[in-house]
Every structure is written in structure tokens, then in C-alpha cells.
Structure 1
Amino acid sequence: MSGVRSPTQRTLELADIVGVVRDGLGARVTDAAELTGGGFATVWQAILDDGRDVVVKVGPPASARLLEYEKGVLPAEAEYFRMVRSHAPGVPVPEVLAAGPHWVITSRLPGRALTEGDSPAARRQLGAAIARIHKITGPHFGYTGDRPAGSDWPTAFAAMIDSLRADAAHWQVPLPPLDGVVDRHHGALATVTTPALLHFDLWDGNVLVAADGSLSGLVDGERYLYGDPLLDLVSPALFRRIEDEPSHPFLAGYRTAAPLDQVRLSLYRVHLYVLMLAEGPSRGIPVTDGRHDFLTGLLTAELEALDELGGRR
């Protein structure tokens, strides 16, 4: 993976963070430092004169080239956290303290990222938390605002894939053939009739773990959408197939009674890999980087699996 700072991340100084906090909270910053680990927004921790420990997230500069679905995602993060805190109290997400069109200030949750050491207990508790969040429903399928969406899940999902393919074509990112993939599995997608609130970005870097190994936080809700709950079962087992791991602690916490639909999960991994391929240039990652070949291999294998699954039905 590339270690180069993403073009979507602003280079900020302490004075910039002081200004955002002053505008948003009318408070004074006594100490602040940039946080690492993300690749989209610029994130700082700040200590305020009243003792509060906060996170200041600032979105990409106007000059940054974004994927179509990423337009306006920072205000979406505030929306997600507010919905979860209101409708799924007890799920540990940050409190939104202030938000603007290009920044958000939240409380800082304790703990370390799951990337810094595994915790089956935190994974299990994450599964239970996501199951609660999935009971929150939306008015439509897909993203909010002027982004890919639809009145039903097949329409919204097709729009999401088409948007990413257009982004990839714009940046000249090669993809395996994808024509007809979504249409061939319309029936499987059409079984989803309730637009559940999805976090989507549940990789280990967005899961916080307390010193005792318990779940202490779920962050980075900016990519939320409404759709099939199974979409949220892909990133907790990133680059793997969670349906092949029935003892996975996330599944133990999620406790779904229904069997996991292999076709839909395979489609959602296709979506994730296409997204990750398409976003490479916007993050400053060249196609010649080994990441592209790695993801293309995973995507090709998933398309082959879909062909095989389709043949069984």
C-alpha cells in the first residue's frame, strides 16, 4: 500500500484547527495533534480549555477529485452519528458537537483501533451493535442527497455500481468485465425490501477497543447508506468470505437467524473491490502499485464465484 498522503487530505496547521473549534464551539484549544490511520479526511485531536477531548475532522479541499458518491460525505457523518445515538442508544458512537459543510467536531471516544491488536470480544459486541443499528430504516435505498439511490434495492445497487464504473473510466482504472453482473442477480437483490441503515465501512481501523478488550467505539460513519444489512457483513472480514467462517465473532454477536445469502454477499464484495479500485487515483495510488493487482485478483475471483453460484440456481 502507498504511504503517500492522499490528495483528499488537507494539510492543516494548529491555527486551522483553532479556527474551526472557535467557529464551531466558541472554545479555545489548549493542545492539538493530527491523528493518523485514515486516507480521506484530515483528522485532529484537540484538548479544549474546558477540558473536553474532541476530534476535528476536515473534509477534502475544493480542488480534490472525489468519487461521485463521496460528494457531501462529511455532513453525512454527522447525520449517521446523530441517528445512531437517537435510535440505538448505548451503541458507542461519538457525540456530534458541531458541524459545518466541510468539517465536523465530535467527542473523542476512548480506546485503540482494532488494527492494533485483535479482540474477539469487541468483534462480537460490534456484531450486536450493528444488528441494533440495522433496525433503523430509511425513506429510500442507497445514499442521501444527489448520489446513487433508488426506490428499490436492485435499482439503488445498480446505480452504485454504475457510478463507480464511471469513476473508474474517468480515471482510466482498468476493471474486469462487469456488464450484466447486477442484472443477472436482480432476483436475489429484490428479496431485500427494507432499507436498513448501513455503516458500510466496518474495517478494523474504524472499530475502537477498550483496555479490557470490549468495544469502546464505532467511528467514521460518513459513508452510510440505506440497503441490505448483508452489505455490512463484508468489511468486518475484509478480503475474506465471512460466510465461510461460521464461528466468526462478528456473526456470533450479530445473531442472524436467516442463512447468509452467498450471491448477495458475493455481489457486495464485488462492489467493495470495484470501489477500492476506482478510488486509487483519487488517493494518489498509481495503478502500477501492487494494490491494484491484489484487488483485481480478488474481484476476478468473486466474479467467477458468482458465475458458479448462478449456475446452481
Structure 2
Amino acid sequence: MSAPSPTQRPLTQTDVSRLVHASFGPRAGVADCGPLHGGGFAAVWWVRLDDGREVVLKVAPPEGARLLRYERGLCAAEARYFRLVAARAPDVPVPPVLHHGRDPAYGEWLVTGLLPGRSLADLAADGDADDGPVRFATGRALATLHRITGPCFGYDDGERPCAATWPEAFAAMVDDLLADAADWEVELPAEPGRIRALVRRHAPALGVVRHPALLHFDCWDGNVLAAPGPDGRLRLAGLVDGERFLYGDPLLDLTSPLLFRRVEDEPDHPTVRGYRDVAGPLDLDDGARRRLGLYRMHLYLVMNVEGPSRGMTPDSHPQRHTALADLLRRELADLARD
């Protein structure tokens, strides 16, 4: 099976069996397995073991794969995130970590339990699901997770940006992305100097954030699972793909759930209402709106810059490239006016 993205290691059923043995012992067997689709970073397979358990096997990119700077160590980061959430916020559903391993031949991998349900992205494609209660529950879950604070602003591994203040950490995160853009020769709709200047200009708005909250960061519809409850209505079944977690401003975590939209324009969105249900009133004053603009700018910068590493170039995906460049350009223009 060929990898759809340069960062995804090609796997076979034989590879999966070997990693299952390495995770659970030589007597563990695979009854059935197959690739899971939807992500573009790691190779992910569902596996049914011969003892009836259903698990997810996620294998990190192969040695030597070119990654963005903030993507270093994501397999270990995901294991830390799920374990942290299970210990500190047990009411928030995340997959249980069953094994985290490393092997000279296969690199790094993670095995978790397989949660029930389908992603909100898949349900939206069907077009007939009432996902409002799931989105409300997602907002509540994020607010619950934001009560967990970290040792610094940024990342917790000592290799990626980590600082005593949020403005420092956020500026370093943006600097890394701009360095990645230069490395990959990604053409951006603005000069890097202009982007850095806007981050510096709005540093006072970032400076009001004093507590480094635990952020999922990547909580878009593809990473939110829903399953029918006892009454047949959809319920939140899990938050997955936690490898990109960091510590920072809770508002950053409201950008991906409303991807390509604006939180400040949709105060009655179910996710926002669910968030307020736990966190209390959400004061979207001028400073908060500037921060949200910075966070959308950062997200669109990520999505622009990561394209080539996923095999998506302006030539191969022209519509994606144009749309993301336009979104980034809009946020930069708004930030320049404020």
C-alpha cells in the first residue's frame, strides 16, 4: 500500500501484525485490520485483535521524512496528551493509551483503544445528522480541559517553543512557521516581516493571557467523534488526534471547531454555547477579537505551509492553495486595520 502523503509510512498487514506483537506480546494476533482515512500526517490503521479488542495503531512518519518544526515528537506528545486528559479530566472522552513503542525498523508508534462512532466531518458529508448536541458537548469538553494548566506557554517537550509569557511563545510559534515556509519555498500572501510586525503590534492583546491552559489545538470536525446514545440521539464519543496539543490562550481552541468561520460572529454556535455553559460568559471585547484574528492567521499559516510536506502543491491542489491564501490575506488585512 503506497502512502498518500510523504509523511505517512506505508504499512502492510504483516507490518501491523509485527507491531501488535511488539505491543502486546508474541501471542497477540490480528483478526482483521485496515487503514483509517482522514488525516495526512501519520499512518493510522484500525485493528481487531484475536481476543476481540478493537484498537487504533498510529505509526509516526519514517526516519528522514521532512516535517514542520512543530511536528517533531508528535507520537510521544499524543500519548502524553491522552494520559493527561484521562488523569485530570476523566469525564472528557479520549482514547485509552495501550502502548507507546519505538523500534529501529518501524520507528515510533502508538496503540490506543478504538472509540465508537464517526467523525462530525463524516456525518456532515451525509447531511442528515443532528450534531448540535455533540458540538455543545465539545464546547463543554474544551472548557473542562482548559482548567488544566501547564508548566509554560507553548509546548511541554523542551524542544519546541516554550516561554514564560504567551506573547513570547506565540511569536516563536509563528517564527517557526515562517522558517518552515522559507525551507519549503512556500509563497505566502505577505512578506514574513509584515507578519512578524503584526504579531508584535498586537502583543499587548496577547499579554492579557496569564494562565497556560491545556489546548487540543486541532479540534476540527474530523477529530470529534459522535455515536448514538441510549435514546438514539448523537452524543460526544471522543476527541482524537491530540498530538498537536500545547498550553496557551483558551480562545485559540475555538478556532478549529469553527474552521473557516469567526467565533465572534456566531455567539450562539452550539460549541460556543457549550463552552460558556462550563467556563461562564465569553467576553469578546476588542482585545479578544484581535487575539482570535491572530489565531486564525496562525491556523491558516499552518495550513498554507504544511501543503508541500503533505504532497499538496499549488500545481496539484490549486483550489486549496488559492482558498487558504485568501483566508490568510483576509486575516492579515483585518489585523493591519485594528
TM-score scaled by length of structure 2 = 0.89
2:336 corresponds to 1:307: yes
Instruction: Please list the CA deviations of residues 74-130 of structure 1 after superposition, one character each: whole Å capped at 9, or x if unmatched.
Output: 110010000101000121100000002411000000001101224011000000011
2:141 corresponds to 1:129: yes
What is residue 221 of structure 1 aligned with on the other side? 242
What is residue 9 of structure 2 aligned with on the other side? 10
Q: Secondary structure at the match of 2:116?
A: coil
What is residue 110 of structure 2 aligned with on the other side? 104
Alignment gaps of 5+ in structure 2: 103-107, 125-130
2:255 corresponds to 1:242: no
What is residue 257 of structure 1 aligned with on the other side? 281
Q: Secondary structure at the match of 1:33?
A: strand
Question: Using the alignment, how far apart are the partners of 2:196 and 2:294 within structure 1?
Answer: 13
Q: Secondary structure at the match of 2:234?
A: coil
Any residues of structure 2 matched to 1:177-256 within 5 Å, and which? 177=191, 178-211=195-228, 212-255=233-276, 256=280
Instruction: Give the C-alpha shift of residue 247 in structure 1.
Output: 1.0
Instruction: Please tell me whether the aligned partners of residues 194 and 227 of structure 1 are also in contact (alpha carbons under 8 angstroms).
Output: yes
Instruction: Please tell me whether the aligned partners of residues 94 and 219 of structure 1 are also in contact (alpha carbons under 8 angstroms).
Output: yes
Q: Secondary structure at the match of 2:172?
A: helix
What is residue 63 of structure 1 aligned with on the other side? 64
Instruction: Please tell me whether the aligned partners of residues 171 and 196 of structure 2 are also in contact (alpha carbons under 8 angstroms).
Output: no
Greater shift, 284-293 or 164-173, is seen at: 284-293
What is residue 81 of structure 2 aligned with on the other side? 80
Question: Using the alignment, how far apart are the partners of 2:302 and 2:155 within structure 1?
Answer: 15
Question: Using the alignment, how far apart are the partners of 1:199 and 1:142 within structure 2?
Answer: 12
Instruction: Please tell me whether the aligned partners of residues 113 and 204 of structure 1 are also in contact (alpha carbons under 8 angstroms).
Output: yes
Instruction: Please list the CA deviations of residues 25-68 of structure 1 after superposition, one character each: whole Å capped at 9, or x if unmatched.
Output: 22221111111111100101111122110000001011210000
- The list of structure 1 runs, each at least 4 consecutive aligned residues, that deviate by more than 3 angstroms after superposition, is none
Question: Using the alignment, how far apart are the partners of 2:80 and 2:32 within structure 1?
Answer: 27
% identical equivalent positions: 55
Q: Secondary structure at the match of 1:259?
A: coil
Q: CA RMSD in A?
A: 1.1
Instruction: Please list the CA deviations of residues 277-298 of structure 1 after superposition, one character each: whole Å capped at 9, or x if unmatched.
Output: 1101100011232212111100
1:295 to 320, 324, 336: 324
Question: Using the alignment, how far apart are the partners of 1:197 and 1:111 within structure 2?
Answer: 25
One-letter code aligned to 1:187: P
Question: Using the alignment, how far apart are the partners of 1:5 and 1:83 within structure 2?
Answer: 31
Any residues of structure 2 matched to 1:35-74 within 5 Å, and which? 35-74=36-75
Instruction: Please tell me whether the aligned partners of residues 175 and 196 of structure 2 are also in contact (alpha carbons under 8 angstroms).
Output: no
Instruction: Please tell me whether the aligned partners of residues 173 and 287 of structure 1 are also in contact (alpha carbons under 8 angstroms).
Output: no
Instruction: Give the C-alpha shift of residue 19 in structure 1.
Output: 1.0
Instruction: Please tell me whether the aligned partners of residues 154 and 163 of structure 2 are also in contact (alpha carbons under 8 angstroms).
Output: yes
One-letter code aligned to 2:336: D
Q: Secondary structure at the match of 1:75?
A: helix
Question: Using the alignment, how far apart are the partners of 1:116 and 1:24 within structure 2?
Answer: 30
